[in-house]
Each structure stands twice: as structure tokens, then as C-alpha cells.
Amino acid sequence: MANFAVVELLGMIVLLLCCLTVLVSAGSKIREDEIKVSEFDVKPGGEKHEYQESWDGVTCKFTYASQGGTKEKWSFGMSRSSDLNQYSCSVERPGGTSYLFFLNFKLEVIGGTVWDGEAFGNREKPLKPDEFTVDQEKNMIASKEGGFGAELSRVNVYANAGKSEL
């Protein structure tokens, strides 16, 4: 049981580092109050599930359907730049391995404009370009129907604050 707690803690640290990397690379200075992390259960059963967090009018919503044994604890992180102009959202399985088979996934931003995203399978293996898409018009990163290989351990999306102009 103690080993599981260590793996879970390491996963949370990796999630925080991912959020920090985005904002630091954008030239922003990070303060502790610019990172927000929560935990939620990813549930199998093939049904559509959603989890979302909001901050300063920016909402990140993770939608998925998965199959497999039992529910898993996942981490949900949001970070923001000190000028509140850039946000990142990250959903990840602590430890980098999920035993669930994902039928599909989507991480969308409401109240911001998505400019990039990335997705990873088990052991931090980047998903292939034919497995997911970053749709800047729909402000989301999502699995591609017919191309996604059912393996997911982390998905990130990066956005500027404010709505996009039509």
C-alpha cells in the first residue's frame, strides 16, 4: 500500500511539472497560487463520463468512455500564467500506466482558445498523429474515431484566455 502512495505522489509531481513546463516555456513566472490539482475516478463500463474544473472563467472538461476492470484514480491539473493570459489543462494517470481501454477521449476548453495539445499512452509513449487531433476551432484535443489505439495515460491542452473571434 505504501508503494502505491509513493507512485501516486510521483504522478502528482509529474503532473505539476508538466503544467509548469508549459508556462515557463511561455516566459511566465509561476507562483504556487497559479497551479490547481484535483483527483477524480476514471470509471469503466463503456458509458460516457465527464469531469471538469473551472478557474477564472476558463473551464477544462474531460469527456471519455472506457472499458476494463475497476475504476482508477486520475489527476486533473490546471495552471495559469501570472498575467492570466495562458492556461494549461492536464489529465493523467499517476505512475504513467492505465489498465483501462479507452473507447474515446476529449479534453476541451471553454472560455479560452486552444493553441496546442498532446496525448500519451502508457509509459509516456506519445500517441501517433493518426490517433488524436487538436481542433483549434472546437477548442479541444480528442481521439480520432477508427485510429485511436485505446491506450491513454495523459492528455494536455494549452490555451489562451478569452473567447476566440468568429
pLDDT 10s digits, 83-108? 989 999 999 999 999 999 999 999 99
> Model's pTM, two decimal places?
0.81
Determine the pLDDT at residue 86. 95
Dig out the grid coordinates for 31 from the structure: 507562483
Cα 117 to Cα 46, 137, 140, distances in angstroms: 25, 13, 8
Determine the pLDDT at residue 162. 83
Determine the pLDDT at residue 2. 45
139 Rama class: left (phi>0) / alpha (psi -120 to 50) / beta:
left
Determine the pLDDT at residue 24. 39
Determine the pLDDT at residue 112. 95
The ranges of the chain with pLDDT < 70 are 1-32, 163-166
Which residue in this structure is represented by grid cell 502512495? 5
Determine the pLDDT at residue 10. 38
| Residue type (1 letter), 107 | L
Which residue ranges make up each domain of the chain? Answer: 2-161
CA–CA separation, 159 vs 50, rounded Å? 20
Determine the pLDDT at residue 154. 98
